[in-house]
Amino acid sequence: MAAQNDPQAPALRRGDSAVMPVLLILGLGVTVAIILAVYGRVHEPTGFALNVAGFSGPQAVKAWLATGAFVLALVQLLSGLAIVGRLGGMVAPPWVSPLHRWSGRLAVLLTVPVVVHCLYALGFQTDTPRVLIHSFLGCFFYGAFTAKMLLLTRRGLPGWAIPLIGGLVFIALFGLWLSSSVWFFVLRGITF
C-alpha cells in the first residue's frame, strides 16, 4: 500500500494496471501535439491577432511573455530538482512543492497568449530551420505538458517518470525561447 502511494516507487511492476493508462496518457499527449500541428498547417494564417498595449508589436509581446515563462521554467527546474532530492542533497522545505506547482501554472499561462498568436496568426511554418524547429517544439511542448499533467494524477509510476517528462517540457520551452525570444532580442536588441 505504501509503495502504491509513493510516487517514487522503484519501477512499474509487470501486470500493473497502471501501464495501460500511462500509455493512454502518452498517446493523448502525442494527439494534442498532432492536433496543434495540423491546425497550424491547415488553418489559413490570418496575419494578425490581438495585441497587448504598451509594446512595439506582437513580436515584442511574445518575446517578453516567453522570457517570463522561461524564467519561471528555471524556477521549475530548481524546485523540481529539490523535490526529487537532487539539489545538492538538501531536503526540500515544505514550500517547494507549492512553489513548483504555482510557478508552473503561471509559466504555462504566460505561454498561452503566445501560442494562440503563433497558431492563429502565423501557423505551422517550415520556411527556415528556425521556424520549423520552433513550430515543432511548440506542438511538442503542449503535448508533453498535457502528458505531464495527466501523469501527475497516476500513482505507482517509476521515480524517473515525472522528472523525465518534466525535463522534456523544460527542454522544449528552452528551445522555444531560444528560437523566438533570444532570436528576436539578438536581431532587434532588447526592445519592448
Partner 1 sequence: MSKRGPIVTLVLVAVVAAVLLVVNMTVRTQSAGREGAAPPSGTAVAPAPPPAVTSPAVAPETVTYAGRTSGNEATIAIAVRAGRAAAYVCDGRSVEAWLQGTITDGRLSVQGARGASATGTLAGDAMFGTVSMNGQQWPYSARRAAPPAGLYQGRGTVSGVPARLGWIVLPDQSQVGIGNFGGRRSPAPALRLPVLSPVTVDGTRIEPQQVFGDTQVVGVPGGPPS
Residues that bind partner 1 (CB under 8 A): 7, 41-50, 57-59, 62, 97, 101, 104-105, 108-109, 112-113, 115-117, 120-123, 125-127, 131, 145-146, 148-150, 152-153, 187-188
SS3 labels along 67-112: HHHHHHHHHHHHHHHHHCCCCCCCCCCCCHHHHHHHHHHHHHHHHH
Nearest approach, Cβ of residue 75 and partner 1 (Å): 16
Q: Which CB atom, from 14 or from 157, has the smaller least distance to partner 1?
A: 157
Nearest approach, Cβ of residue 50 and partner 1 (Å): 6
CB atoms near residue 109 (< 10 Å)? 12
Q: Which CB atom, from 62 or from 173, has the smaller least distance to partner 1?
A: 62
Cα 141–Cα 146–Cα 147 angle in degrees, nearest 5: 100
Nearest approach, Cβ of residue 43 and partner 1 (Å): 6
> Measured between alpha carbons, how far is 185 from 178 in angstroms, rounded to an integer?
10
In this structure, the dihedral spanned by the alpha carbons of residues 182, 39, 126 and 45, taken in order and rounded to 10 degrees, is: -80
Nearest approach, Cβ of residue 101 and partner 1 (Å): 6
Q: Which CB atom, from 4 or from 126, has the smaller least distance to partner 1?
A: 126
Q: Which CB atom, from 45 or from 88, has the smaller least distance to partner 1?
A: 45
> Measured between alpha carbons, how far is 89 from 44 in angstroms, rounded to an integer?
51
Q: Which CB atom, from 59 or from 159, has the smaller least distance to partner 1?
A: 59
The radius of gyration of the chain's CA atoms, rounded to the nearest angstrom, is 18
Nearest approach, Cβ of residue 73 and partner 1 (Å): 15
> Measured between alpha carbons, how far is 160 from 11 in angstroms, rounded to an integer?
9
Instruction: Return the exposure string of 37-56: e unless at least 16 CB atoms fall within 10 Å of the residue's CB, then b.
Output: beebeeeeeeeeeeeeeebe
Nearest approach, Cβ of residue 33 and partner 1 (Å): 14
Q: Which CB atom, from 7 or from 175, has the smaller least distance to partner 1?
A: 7
